Amino acid sequence: MILSMTGYGKASAAFQGKKIIAEVKSLNSKALDLSTRVAPAYREKEMEVRAMITQALERGKVELNLWTEQQDQAAASPINGELVAAYYRQMLDLSAKYGIPEPDDYWHTLTRMPDVLTRGEVQQELTEEEWVVARDVVQQAIDHLMAFRRQEGAALQKKFEEKLDNIAALLASIEPYEKGRVEKIRQRITEGLAAIPDVQYDKNRLEQEMIYYIEKLDISEEKQRLANHLQYFRHTMEEGHGQGKKLGFIAQEMGREINTTGSKSNQAEMQNIVVKMKDELEQIKEQVLNVM
């Protein structure tokens, strides 16, 4: 079964009065594009975290956030009093110097200044016991993301099967028009020659030229190759994850056969069918970018 590159996972755990939280998000990408935001307390373990992500997720634009929060709701964020006083003096000086009106609510303004209120993250010496918990939280977030990828992959595979069935049905619907068009070509050429007065032509040579012309318009090989590509696409999906690029190449080959069929189609009905096949294939191409 295929996997989607799109996914989301989040996990958390409590450790000595604080909450450790890990969040992992991924989108499609040709390779692994990993960015991490790790709490200062875990910065020394960032390379280990990146290795865990690289081994598990393989491809995708991945973003990992690992942080901590205080569990004690009554614990207030400390206010930097010295910084507040410094901001207050600067505001008074600037107001007097440039004639800027003083704010009605100094306190509201000051609490919004940078670094006045510290973040709720807990920063302390990292112990081995805490890292074991934090590492498990990261692993759980990764596992949740992988479950999301499997679920999305199953939905993608179902969608692909539907589109492949549609293309196969459209391909089969060409056959009645294909059989009738040979006689129509022959009749049109014969009627055209008959409409020219006193024309003399070699019927054997005409027959040879018609056979050559009809062979150039034959789409039997294109139909067979397209049918093979459809089957190969289905088989590749069953090979498991990591087949996204391969599926993209197969879709390109399918497009070539459909385009060649369209260029050889000299009937409006056949060309309409080809347009419908292109539409189905375009939807496959759009979604295959999300496949691992």
Asked if residue 3 is part of any domain, the answer here is no
> What is the CB-side half-sphere exposure of residue 42 using CA atoms within 13 A?
28
Q: Are residues 168 and 232 in the same domain?
A: yes
Asked if residue 245 is part of any domain, the answer here is yes
Q: Are residues 161 and 271 in the same domain?
A: yes
10 Å CB burial of residue 288 (0-12, 13-18, 19+) is buried
Rounded distance between C-alpha atoms, residue 259 and residue 253, angstroms:
10
Q: Are residues 183 and 283 in the same domain?
A: yes
Asked if residue 10 is part of any domain, the answer here is no
Which string of DSSP letters, residue by residue, matches 134-164? Answer: HHHHHHHHHHHHHHHHHHHHHHHHHHHHHHH
Which pLDDT score, from 0 to 100, does residue 182 have? Answer: 67
Q: What are phi and psi of 287, to 5 degrees?
A: -80, -25
- The number of folded domains in the chain is 2
Angle between helices 46-57 and 128-173 (to 10 degrees): 20
Q: Are residues 192 and 275 in the same domain?
A: yes
Residue 101 DSSP symbol: P
Which pLDDT score, from 0 to 100, does residue 120 have? Answer: 47
Which pLDDT score, from 0 to 100, does residue 14 have? Answer: 93
- Residue pair 11/141 in contact by the 8 Å Cβ criterion: yes
Tell me how long the chain is: 292
Q: Are residues 96 and 199 in the same domain?
A: no
Q: Are residues 189 and 91 in the same domain?
A: no
Q: Are residues 182 and 100 in the same domain?
A: no
- Residue pair 153/3 in contact by the 8 Å Cβ criterion: yes
Which pLDDT score, from 0 to 100, does residue 226 have? Answer: 95
What six digits make up the tokens of 53? 């992500």
Residues of the chain with pLDDT under 50: 120-123
Q: Are residues 196 and 93 in the same domain?
A: no
Which is it for strands 18-27 and 60-70: parallel, antiparallel or unpaired?
Answer: antiparallel
- Residue pair 21/140 in contact by the 8 Å Cβ criterion: no
Q: Are residues 190 and 250 in the same domain?
A: yes
Asked if residue 105 is part of any domain, the answer here is yes
Asked if residue 74 is part of any domain, the answer here is no
Asked if residue 275 is part of any domain, the answer here is yes
Which pLDDT score, from 0 to 100, does residue 147 have? Answer: 95
Q: How far is CA 211 from CA 117, 135, 182, 219, in A?
A: 86, 72, 10, 14
Q: Are residues 214 and 94 in the same domain?
A: no
- Residue pair 175/147 in contact by the 8 Å Cβ criterion: no
For 251-260, write each residue's pLDDT tens digit: 999 999 999 9
Which pLDDT score, from 0 to 100, does residue 259 have? Answer: 93
Rounded distance between C-alpha atoms, residue 44 and residue 39, angstroms:
10
What six digits make up the tokens of 176? 């009645």
Beta-carbon contacts of residue 167 (< 8 Å; ≥ 6 apart): 226, 230, 254, 277, 280, 281
Asked if residue 237 is part of any domain, the answer here is yes
Which pLDDT score, from 0 to 100, does residue 113 have? Answer: 80
User: Which range marks the domain in which residue 243 is found?
Assistant: 153-288
Q: Are residues 93 and 183 in the same domain?
A: no
Q: Are residues 165 and 226 in the same domain?
A: yes
For the entire predicted model, the pTM comes to: 0.70
